[in-house]
Structure 1
């Protein structure tokens, strides 16, 4: 991979290419477990994990919170003579970061990459200019676009939603923005396109026609899909579930809700889910639950890799560090067949008081190591076969005889009822949960 920043201003001076130095290294700017070329099963770590950097948090977030002003002073903004030049400098900083960190992919919202203009035409012109520059940098470095999306939630016009807005003019504005974002994704060879319905929901049912809004959302998604396919987009369309925040209730609440929506409107053949760990927590689910549910429903696609704080009821978007959780996540992903067009996108931001340039690297290094360690443990679990054997044995009564006839649909209900066994001990077989939890810990700690 070329070092594109050579010949351009260096925004992270003193930081070189991040290497793997092994678990005994005390270098904070080195990987301990992530070795991109290490084979795990039939693929390398690079191929399994498909890491991507979130353009918005990493190069747009400035540490602002509801109680204080910005704490992150970005040199790619402060050294610019005008707004567009700031975006150009930010692009250089981003590709310097990608190449030094050694990731293959990145993701963006349209408004991360280019500023909004006074009109939709000006906005499209701004985006087209930045896309041409991004295309050059992709060619120079080999870094690719994992997926693109449109920011349909920040501007005041979207305060009541985008595709679900009660005003038709806002829906049309959203369409113009999504059209341009899909065009940008196609131009940059993006492997996916994500719809995150940040405000597609309601704050109160007293002023909401829920059915009409869902119908409009489905119509919007159908039209966007048809446009993308007609203009050469061969990648995957994703919906990213989130239960709340900023809305009281969002129509993409969780994986199960999204699956029901897609099937109800005939969209399940073209759309999959982009699952975020922090959103799973806000929905009252484990990250593993959402991954397993998506796999079971055949709509698993991609992952926003982060974590929340269980003591905060909102989206804190912290970098993942819990190897127990990443092990269970990678186990679900491997069993689902792994990533195709998706990957692990670090939709996470450094903390407000993390103001050193190295902090952004260290945050990503920790997250990448956490998933690499989780991948190694998950692969050991699969190769060892103890978990699969236990689960298979637990359901073995459905493999033969009457149980098999029931599972295959070859039994009438009255026949099933007549087979009810007598005796107080029916169903009192241990699930061995504690043993399995202990066994997971052994794999996590590397004890075979």
Structure 2
């Protein structure tokens, strides 16, 4: 195996005063924050699809980056991708990777041949894992790009397509278990609709639940002990996708009795497409006990589609890591860079610049989030704002000691309540966050 990224050595931590573009300014893997090293807290992962296959193709133009890895034969290219990916992860000190089945090995003439070729490449990856200690964070099946999935996979009107998707997912779960992954992700892809005029929504949702239940049962039967994830996304490629946002997915999981096995894989850009903040989606997942893993990226607020940019917004990263720390940190999940370098950033070196930017951003976010918690001003303000629920009528409501009759009596005796309202002090709290961020 030759070196793919000649002239780029191991990326080290040089501190914020470094002017070296190929060095970390804030990510120090061994620095302890919140009782764990940064490496343990952040659990960075490489996304096989964007990093190893994304060549800059978009709806308006062909690719600009060469992601053939020097090979024209599909099987040889799949193997070269593995060598290049492990070189990237080694040089960036990234401990995990995530994959779609077809990212690792493409489709061939039949499902049997495709599965056999996937086995070959996962054998090769497993040997690389044994050499390096690099792990699989999660796997998934690419049930959305092939023409057979034009009307969906688990929600297709065709039972034959449902059966094919089930077979593909079965194999992807096997590959995830083989590579030691502790997560398996369902992303809706084309599980949604363009118009209700041709859609039996009830049957489609029932069938999606059937597919997920089969996946859980099969995964557990072959020894998968990790988390199953759903990754919410409201639209694109379909106009309306069934996994619209975290709250929608929670309702789906609870309706079909799948809530014991599934957690959320929250993506920042998907949150904004749903007209939510990244922090909102994480908070809904955390408050409901469904926090799992994160796809780390950002979108452009001036564009209405999933741009999957490498994250550089430190405010968002800080508020994200605040939710992660409040949730107790990652268990099986981590920060997967579901991000792609811009179409005009097409050189091999740009892969490293992109990851350095994203990793430094979340390292800064982690530092700030821990400082917000240690500082305590924001937490104390929130606790004080809701203090009326700790005693008196508030505690009686929470304890179930009063009903409408008692509350009416209390309100009549109390009279007007505007004098007991406190200011929300939003501007003060945002100023406190700025103070915490820029006094570091």
Q: 1:158 to 1:427 in 2, by over 3 A?
A: farther
Match runs of 1:225-236 below 5 Å: 225-236=216-227
Kept after mapping to 1: 8 A contact 2:296/2:336:
yes
Kept after mapping to 1: 8 A contact 2:143/2:153:
yes
Give the whole-Å Cα distance in 2 for the aligned partners of 1:418 and 1:336: 39
Match runs of 1:334-373 below 5 Å: 334-373=325-364
Kept after mapping to 1: 8 A contact 2:140/2:169:
yes
Secondary structure of 1:69 counterpart: coil
Q: Does 2:410 align with 1:419?
A: yes
Match runs of 1:181-220 below 5 Å: 181-220=172-211
Give the whole-Å Cα distance in 1 for the aligned partners of 2:358 and 2:232: 22
Given candidates 123, 136, 141, the residue that maps to 1:132 is 123
Match runs of 1:253-264 below 5 Å: 253-264=244-255
Q: Does 2:29 align with 1:42?
A: no
Give the whole-Å Cα distance in 2 for the aligned partners of 1:312 and 1:14: 36
Give the whole-Å Cα distance in 2 for the aligned partners of 1:36 and 1:166: 48
Give the whole-Å Cα distance in 2 for the aligned partners of 1:426 and 1:216: 53
- Aligned-residue offset at 1:425: 2.5
Kept after mapping to 2: 8 A contact 1:305/1:344:
yes
Deviations 1:84-119 (A, max 9, x none): 001111110010111001111000000000111221
Q: How many pairs align?
A: 438
Given candidates 368, 376, 388, the residue that maps to 2:367 is 376
Given candidates 13, 21, 31, the residue that maps to 2:14 is 21
- Aligned-residue offset at 1:401: 1.8
Is the deviation greater in 347-356 or in 421-430?
Answer: 421-430
Q: For residue 4 of structure 1, what is the aligned residue in structure 2?
A: none
TM-score w.r.t. structure 1 length?
0.96
Give the whole-Å Cα distance in 2 for the aligned partners of 1:286 and 1:81: 42
Give the whole-Å Cα distance in 1 for the aligned partners of 2:418 and 2:216: 54
Kept after mapping to 2: 8 A contact 1:164/1:214:
yes
Q: For residue 443 of structure 1, what is the aligned residue in structure 2?
A: 436
Secondary structure of 1:20 counterpart: coil
Give the whole-Å Cα distance in 1 for the aligned partners of 2:417 and 2:126: 69
Secondary structure of 2:316 counterpart: helix
Give the whole-Å Cα distance in 2 for the aligned partners of 1:430 and 1:24: 40
Give the whole-Å Cα distance in 2 for the aligned partners of 1:162 and 1:309: 29
Kept after mapping to 2: 8 A contact 1:321/1:367:
yes
Give the whole-Å Cα distance in 1 for the aligned partners of 2:188 and 2:319: 27
Given candidates 35, 40, 59, the residue that maps to 2:52 is 59
Q: Does 2:237 align with 1:246?
A: yes
Match runs of 1:399-418 below 5 Å: 399-418=390-409
Kept after mapping to 2: 8 A contact 1:377/1:446:
no
- Aligned-residue offset at 1:81: 5.0
Question: How big is the alpha-carbon RMSD for the aligned residues of Structure 1 and Structure 2?
Answer: 1.0
- Aligned-residue offset at 1:409: 1.7
Secondary structure of 1:331 counterpart: helix
Give the whole-Å Cα distance in 2 for the aligned partners of 1:439 and 1:415: 40
Give the whole-Å Cα distance in 2 for the aligned partners of 1:223 and 1:424: 54
- Aligned-residue offset at 1:417: 2.2
Kept after mapping to 2: 8 A contact 1:324/1:441:
no
Gaps of 5+ in 2: none
TM-score w.r.t. structure 2 length?
0.98
- Aligned-residue offset at 1:75: 5.2
Q: For residue 95 of structure 2, what is the aligned residue in structure 1?
A: 104
Give the whole-Å Cα distance in 1 for the aligned partners of 2:71 and 2:312: 35
Kept after mapping to 1: 8 A contact 2:68/2:77:
no
Runs in 1 of length 4+ with deviation above 3 angstroms? none
Q: Does 2:288 align with 1:297?
A: yes
Given candidates 84, 91, 95, the residue that maps to 1:93 is 84
Given candidates 122, 127, 132, the residue that maps to 2:113 is 122
Kept after mapping to 2: 8 A contact 1:274/1:300:
yes
Give the whole-Å Cα distance in 2 for the aligned partners of 1:17 and 1:376: 23
Kept after mapping to 2: 8 A contact 1:323/1:444:
no
Gaps of 5+ in 1: 1-7
Give the whole-Å Cα distance in 2 for the aligned partners of 1:98 and 1:245: 30
Give the whole-Å Cα distance in 1 for the aligned partners of 2:393 and 2:434: 37
- Aligned-residue offset at 1:161: 0.3
Given candidates 164, 174, 179, the residue that maps to 1:173 is 164
Given candidates 316, 325, 333, the residue that maps to 2:324 is 333
Secondary structure of 1:182 counterpart: helix
Secondary structure of 1:321 counterpart: coil
